[in-house]
Amino acid sequence: MKNTFGTALTLTLYGESHGPAVGAVLDGLPPGLPVDEASIARRLARRRPSGPDATARREPDPFQLLSGVFRGHTTGTPLCINIPNTDTRSADYLPDRPRPSHADYAAHVKYCGHQDYRGGGHFSGRLTAPIVAAGAILLDALAARGVRIGTHILRCGGVPDRPFAAPPRDLANDLDALDAAPFPALSPDAPAQMTAAILAAKADRDSVGGVTQTAILGLPPGLGEPWFDSLESLLAHALFSLGGIKGIEFGDGFALADLRGSQANDPLCTDGRAVVTTTNHAGGINGGLSNGMPILFQCAVKPTATIPRPQPTIDLRTLQNATIAAAGRHDPAIVRRLPPCIDALTALVIADLLFQRPPSPTLP
Amino acid sequence: MKNTFGTALTLTLYGESHGPAVGAVLDGLPPGLPVDEASIARRLARRRPSGPDATARREPDPFQLLSGVFRGHTTGTPLCINIPNTDTRSADYLPDRPRPSHADYAAHVKYCGHQDYRGGGHFSGRLTAPIVAAGAILLDALAARGVRIGTHILRCGGVPDRPFAAPPRDLANDLDALDAAPFPALSPDAPAQMTAAILAAKADRDSVGGVTQTAILGLPPGLGEPWFDSLESLLAHALFSLGGIKGIEFGDGFALADLRGSQANDPLCTDGRAVVTTTNHAGGINGGLSNGMPILFQCAVKPTATIPRPQPTIDLRTLQNATIAAAGRHDPAIVRRLPPCIDALTALVIADLLFQRPPSPTLP
Amino acid sequence: MKNTFGTALTLTLYGESHGPAVGAVLDGLPPGLPVDEASIARRLARRRPSGPDATARREPDPFQLLSGVFRGHTTGTPLCINIPNTDTRSADYLPDRPRPSHADYAAHVKYCGHQDYRGGGHFSGRLTAPIVAAGAILLDALAARGVRIGTHILRCGGVPDRPFAAPPRDLANDLDALDAAPFPALSPDAPAQMTAAILAAKADRDSVGGVTQTAILGLPPGLGEPWFDSLESLLAHALFSLGGIKGIEFGDGFALADLRGSQANDPLCTDGRAVVTTTNHAGGINGGLSNGMPILFQCAVKPTATIPRPQPTIDLRTLQNATIAAAGRHDPAIVRRLPPCIDALTALVIADLLFQRPPSPTLP
Amino acid sequence: MKNTFGTALTLTLYGESHGPAVGAVLDGLPPGLPVDEASIARRLARRRPSGPDATARREPDPFQLLSGVFRGHTTGTPLCINIPNTDTRSADYLPDRPRPSHADYAAHVKYCGHQDYRGGGHFSGRLTAPIVAAGAILLDALAARGVRIGTHILRCGGVPDRPFAAPPRDLANDLDALDAAPFPALSPDAPAQMTAAILAAKADRDSVGGVTQTAILGLPPGLGEPWFDSLESLLAHALFSLGGIKGIEFGDGFALADLRGSQANDPLCTDGRAVVTTTNHAGGINGGLSNGMPILFQCAVKPTATIPRPQPTIDLRTLQNATIAAAGRHDPAIVRRLPPCIDALTALVIADLLFQRPPSPTLP
């Protein structure tokens, strides 16, 4: 379905980086959810580049809710979020020299040269703005049902953060701390050290990658479907839409490959009130279904592909070898901006499973 | 869509481990593809447990093509592959004691106790048999168009295999070697050493995990869609349907997180005939689209959850703590059986993108 | 989606008239629904040709439930119904002479000659058997929730039946009567007169068409979606899959075109307990949503295309004009067999809207 | 999928009659199609009410192409058409008194009172403006491939038009004439007589219904799918999204019910160059597939539900009986405005089948 994702709750994305606008249509929302514009603005601000480590492009993100909201609540009909593009500098992009490890060349072939190449066009990270705006509505609605989602940077430019706490109560505290923190990290020293690593790369006209970790707290057991709509399948599908993500692992992920079953299995027990597991190597998912424990996953984020250094490429007109040095404004660490995007897409998957419109309405 | 996957080409899965049959319906095939029953049988045999390291359950997999095939070719209408279950021992399963790190508990909650719990029911690895059978038809059809897919075990029980060769010509030789090899590994010593590691775990009444590596050779650039149907999204969606897979990374994956952009980017150049990249850190995918280089990805496979050792669990009737020691026949290393399943699901994603039915037919 | 229909509840169809089997996979069922094999057999018997007015082909329809049923109830996983083909006479079909007004010629072009042409192949009315079997499970489940569906022949071979009674209570009696009646008509004289008209056509080596009327009783208001998933859209989509149906109208349908708004509108009022309309010209649907009144629609069914008379056609090998006279066994009135098929597809649409799997399961 | 329709080519609709905007996202377009803004404006003007027989609401429809267009051509990425709402008079609508035979009451129940009730909200005919705009791009693209679509009013307020000419060459002339005509009718007298009938109803503070007839010329044989994606299923699904349509019939439709097979069948023959049928009772579709003949279908359009006469209804607050007399500006004959909407939705279905993005792109 290309630019539409979801089953009962769908998000349809549109827009190009240097066109009139970017936006999204969110359909399948239950009626009567509060729509808090301040909350949307707050999450958009978290996604926006800021500080010395970020791109110089200013994106005020003056979003418009074109439909689906009435008297501050969702109507249950499609909600369109439109974000006009304002501050664009198209001359920065060389149409004929594709940037290495960017979509430029593959998009040129796919669209037979008709794509809007300016700033990556439809492939631009700018398209994550409407994703984050839509996610804000969903995250608020999930929180009202006791489901919380948060993402921190587990590693960036060689600097580690501590992982999420395992006990659900401590994990809830971690999520509280992330909500309040200006930098998405849990250790007190991580923000300064990661920022330093990013600035060092920027000074070298280079970029850095990283790893994120996400937690979902408060899911009931049994969410997800066997086989093709496993919870891992749905989350991975949504998250790999972010161009910088090149790997996803759930629970202990790749480390599980080197364990034995007796080490990797999570014993079941009852704490008197609920069935829990004493460890959570599986990241809260068994056989594609949530098991009631916190969902945990990590994403590998590659370093920003667009760097100011000269790099070998080809000239699409002459098909000769050539060189490109990016002149545009780019983040030296896209991992720094991804946590709100990951939260939003995670919320979309979870809300799609949890918020299905009540099937047999009756007069209130 | 639960048990159906794909857009133009769809696979619908049905069956339980100890019910009458497992099977799949493959719809959207172009008419006129050869259907080679020997090829299906050969791939099913590769998936089937064998040797001293495998489960003792014998599954002769006498598949039936119930529809969609006429005179040895696809008709273009739905192709149903049905595989009756024969050798089942239901008494091996304790309905009231869910196996740790298996779908048992979550499925019990999800289906309100109505699921067929015998042998994992619909969550059983036995459901991969129709996936492999369907994949055999697709792999043959892709090969006829110059697209080849192969998977080896890159690591198992602590034993490494060498990775795929990088140059496409050498990679083609690796795929040839895998086709002929009884054990899915590239290094000469890996089969014996991995088998020894698996048998050692079995002797300990335990199990081992591993990592697989998959290559797709011969794809044109431009396959995949921006955002939600990125090639990574589609492949990850399909592959995370296999319960044992807990992580997927493309190209250098998690290792990219620790590189700088200048190290991770793949420079573009022309070799006189085609546009290529001089390295392939991205695993052949940029911005969600194939770039013409080989596609490479790794999957983390957890150790088999079902082990003969006693493990803590709960009793679903009494909701008291209890113990389970699996008595059934289980592979001590599911990674050993996954390569044909991964190949089949990969073929499904690629064929869905490549083989769309010609849109405007004309009289032949 | 070709041979799959539905959103939360999907039916996937497979099979050819003269291949090994026909069947369907029903996915998305709630767990715990009773599966009554006698009820399935009874509905299949209603679809089966019988009596002097029907085709001579005997189809005992020995259906197999291959998956998704455990201890007499649905498991919540895909339910596969397989019906082996037994009594086939392939020599009756001339592969090179397409029957006028049948799918033969268009299918030949579409599938480039690879289709299984025997007996219409995948286009055969035999494929309605698994539809009826799947529908039986759904109709029983709907009835348990107070939703009833029934279809009678409103007109056949020039013979009229009386329409459904308008008051819901009388309509319920009509549905009771239809359940018990061997011939799907409401007037006492209609069965004999319609049978006579069918036999007269048969004696002329010809066929007749007709009109059916369907009622859905017990739906709450608000089912359906605005625009593309209007209740009319979904029902029409499902029903036009039956090859013989060439028209559908809801409520007064085409007769509304000649009324004024003041005549066609259904005034709203309250009967003290519920909001009702004093007339039902709209057939229970406004703006694509159910309004709480009975849903009523009529289908136009063309006369059976396959008739024993010689008819002009072409020879596909020589592309010269030719003649065909059908030698196979065919019903002179497919309208006679359609009511159970229409009920089943109607149940599929309604159950898809009503029975969506509970979204947030909790431990029972 | 609620407000999204299509498989490879999808249209997603958003907006409310009195909200900020209405619009649509069209995804799956091939890259490089010309986008002619004058053509879009021309089709929007045809949909817009005008003349003494129409609503007094002026809708200048200043559409914005927010994405997916670059240098006058489609890029191949989602194309968003946004149409701001300007001339709205919300006070005309009584929120607590649902209009008979309108979506008001059912929507109130479905959305638990959260729907935007002003002017019908999301159910308003105003939502057809973005449908018509999207359709304009598709109709131009189809015409460039030799596929033409046109709709006229076959009957309105008791006044008949002549049906489309049967011979394809004459039908092409009819489509030419419709393109040029200010009123969508074929007979010279129909426009004046139909307008008089509409004005007579308006003078009576009432409304009239009608029947439309649509032709598709130039389709190759074999388009459509067996069973659930039959051409009839897809067209009916799309067209029943228009609230005023209450019936659809293909070819001779309901009249076929009274014919015998020997009368209804369309004999096949060859005219030396192509296979044709000597009659076209089936409306160009057999077994759900196009057969190469012109596609013909009729839609029954009910009279406009909103009329100025007082009508019985209920008060949603008190649940007591009440009266409503519409004060808003409404067309006394929605059939007058439907032909461009029907053309657009027909183009969406046909383009979805014909214009699928080329599956294996190669460097141009």
Q: Across residues B102-122, what is the average pLDDT?
A: 93
Q: Could you tell me the two tokens for C311?
A: 């008819």
User: Residue D286: its pLDDT value, please?
Assistant: 98
Contact C268, D103 (CB under 8 A): no
Q: Which amino acid is at B144?
A: A
Among the partner residues A1, A120, A127, nearest to B229 by beta-carbon distance? A1
Check residues B45 and D271 and name the one with the higher pLDDT.
B45
> Is B10's CB within 8 Å of C2's CB?
yes
Tokens of B244: 């044992």
Amino acid letter, residue A2: K
Contact (CB, 8 A) for C190 and C260? no
**Residue A119, SS3?**
helix
Distance CA D264, CA D271 (A): 21
* Separation between Cα atoms, residue A215 and residue A142, nearest integer Å: 14
Residues of D in contact with A23 (CB under 8 A): 66-67, 80
| Residue of chain A with shortest Cα separation from D122 | A77
What are the tens digits of pLDDT across the range B215-241? 999 999 999 999 999 999 999 999 999
Nearest to B226 among A122, A208, A300 (CB): A122
E strand spans, chain A: 4-5, 10-15, 21-27, 64-65, 69-70, 73-74, 79-84, 148-156, 159-160, 210-217, 245-250, 268-270, 275-277, 285-286, 289-290, 295-301, 310-314, 321-325
User: For residue range B163-174, what is the model confidence (pLDDT) as tens digits?
Assistant: 999 999 999 999
Q: What percent of chain B has pLDDT over 90?
A: 84
B77·D8 Cβ contact <8 A: no
* Cα(C357)–Cα(A342) distance, integer angstroms: 27
| CB contact (8 A) between residue B220 and residue D361 | yes
**Residue B356: which of D354, D359, D363 has the nearest Cβ?**
D359
- Rounded to the nearest angstrom, the gap between the alpha carbon of residue D315 and the centroid of all alpha carbons in its chain is 33
Substitution target in C12, C228, C307 with the highest count of D β-carbons within 10 Å is C228
| Sign of CA pseudo-dihedral D43, D45, D48, D51 | negative
| pLDDT, average across residues A164-186 | 96
Q: State the pLDDT at residue A331.
A: 86
Is D226 in contact with B77 (Cβ distance < 8 A)? yes
What pLDDT score does A363 carry? 34
What are A357's two structure tokens? 């419109």
pLDDT over 80 (residue B97)? yes
Query: Which residue from B minimizes the CA distance to D351?
Result: B359
Q: Tell me, what's the pLDDT at A52?
A: 59
Q: Tell me: pLDDT of A56 over 70.
A: no
As separate numbers, helices (DSSP H) first and strands (DSSP E) second, chain A gives 8, 18
Pairwise CA distance, residues B338 & C330, whole Å: 49
CB contacts, 8 Å: A96 with chain B: none
Q: How confident is the model at residue A358 (pLDDT cuts 50, 70, 90)?
A: very low
Q: Which residues of C touch B112 (CB under 8 A)?
A: 31-32, 76, 361, 364
In our burial notation (b when 16+ CB lie closer than 10 A, e otherwise), range B246-260 reads: bbbbbbbbbbbbbbb
Q: What is the DSSP letter of D225?
A: -
Q: Is 80 exceeded by the pLDDT of residue B286? A: yes
CA pair distance D293, D220, nearest whole angstrom: 8
Could you tell me which residue, B54 or A33, shows the higher pLDDT? A33
Distance from CA of D95 to the nearest CA of B (A): 38
How close is the nearest chain A Cα to the Cα of C351, in Å? 10
Q: How far apart are CA B182 and CA B164, in angstroms?
A: 17
Phi, psi of C294 (to 5 degrees): -60, 140
Contact state of C267 with D301 under an 8 Å Cβ cutoff? no
| Residues of chain A contacting residue D21, judged by C-beta atoms under 8 Å apart | 66-67, 80
- Which residues of chain C register pLDDT less than 50? 358-364
pLDDT at residue B331 greater than cutoff 90: no
Average pLDDT for chain B: 92
Mean of the per-residue pLDDT values of chain A: 92
Strand partners, C11: C5, C26
Whether the Cβ atoms of residue C127 and residue B68 lie closer than 8 Å to each other:
no
Chain C residue closest in CA terms to D289: C106
Q: How far apart are CA B216 and CA B244, in angstroms?
A: 22
Residues in chain C whose Cβ is within 8 Å of chain A: 7-8, 77, 220-223, 226, 274-275, 353-356, 359-363
| Structure confidence at residue A111 (pLDDT) | 93
CB atoms B361 and C2 under 8 Å: no
| Beta carbons within 10 angstroms of residue B278's beta carbon | 11
Is pLDDT at B161 greater than 70 in this prediction? Answer: yes
Nearest by CB to B13, from C78, C82, C110: name it: C78
Kindly report the length of chain B: 364
Q: Phi first, then psi: what are they for A153, rounded to 5°?
A: -90, 110
Q: How far apart are CA D361 and CA B223, in angstroms?
A: 7
Q: Are B188 and B159 in contact (CB under 8 A)?
A: no
- Is A3–D27 a contact, with Cβ atoms under 8 angstroms apart? yes
The rounded percent of chain C whose pLDDT value lies above 70 is: 91
Nearest CA to CA, how far is C184 from chain A (Å)? 30
Residue A55's pLDDT is 57
Query: ipTM, 2 decimals?
Result: 0.96
DSSP C257: G
* Pair C235, D241: CB distance under 8 Å: no
Among chain B residues, the shortest Cα distance to A274 is held by B319
pLDDT digits (tens, 9 = 90+) for D267-295: 999 988 889 999 999 999 999 999 999 99
Closest CA to D301 of D335, D333, D253: D335
Contact yes or no for D20 and A114 at CB 8 A? no
Closest to A7 measured CA to CA, from A296, A224, A242, A222? A224
| Contact (CB<8Å) A1/B7 | yes
- N- to C-terminal Cα distance for chain B? 36
Distance CA A6, CA A238 (A): 9
* Type of residue numbered B93: Y
- Contacts (Cβ under 8 Å, ≥6 apart) of C173: C165
Q: What are the residue ranges in chain D where pLDDT is below 50?
A: 358-364
Helices A37-47 and A128-144: crossing angle in degrees, nearest 10, is 130
Give helix then strand counts, H and E, for chain D: 8, 18
Q: Measured between alpha carbons, how far is C332 from A189 in angstroms, rounded to an integer?
A: 84
Q: Which two tokens stand for residue C233?
A: 């859209």
Which value, to the nearest 10 degrees, does the dihedral of the CA atoms of residues D331, D332, D337, D339 take? 160
How much is the pLDDT for D55? 57
pLDDT tens readout for residues B195-208? 999 999 999 999 99
D275, D353, D360 ranked by CB distance to B220: nearest: D360
Residue C298 contacts by C-beta under 8 Å, 6 or more apart in sequence? C154, C211, C212, C213, C214, C248, C249, C253
Mean pLDDT of A96-109: 94
Q: Helix/strand/coil (H, E, C) string of A312-346?
A: EEECCCCCCEEEEECCCCCCCCHHHHHHHHHHHHH
- The tokens of D186 are what? 């074929």
What token pair was written down for C1?
Answer: 């989606």
Which DSSP string do the residues of D67-99 spell out, in sequence order? SSEETTEE-SS-EEEEEE--S--GGG--TTSPP
Q: Is C101's CB within 8 Å of D286's CB?
A: yes
Helix (H, G, I), strand (E, B) or coil at D62: coil
Tell me if B361 and D275 make a contact (CB, 8 A cut-off): no
- Beta carbons of B207 and B201 less than 8 angstroms apart: yes
Closest partner residue to A360 (CB to CB) among C8, C220, C226 is C220
DSSP string, B33-76: -B--HHHHHHHHHHHS--STTS-S-------EE-SSEETTEE-S
Q: Picking from A262-271, B298-307, C54-63, which range would have the lowest pLDDT averaged per residue?
A: C54-63
pLDDT for the residue B52: 60
The DSSP line for D5-41 is: E-SSSEEEEEE-TTSSEEEEEEE-PPTT-B--HHHHH
CB–CB contacts below 8 A, A to D: 187
What is the rounded distance in angstroms from the CA atom of residue C259 to the CA atom of residue D307? 13
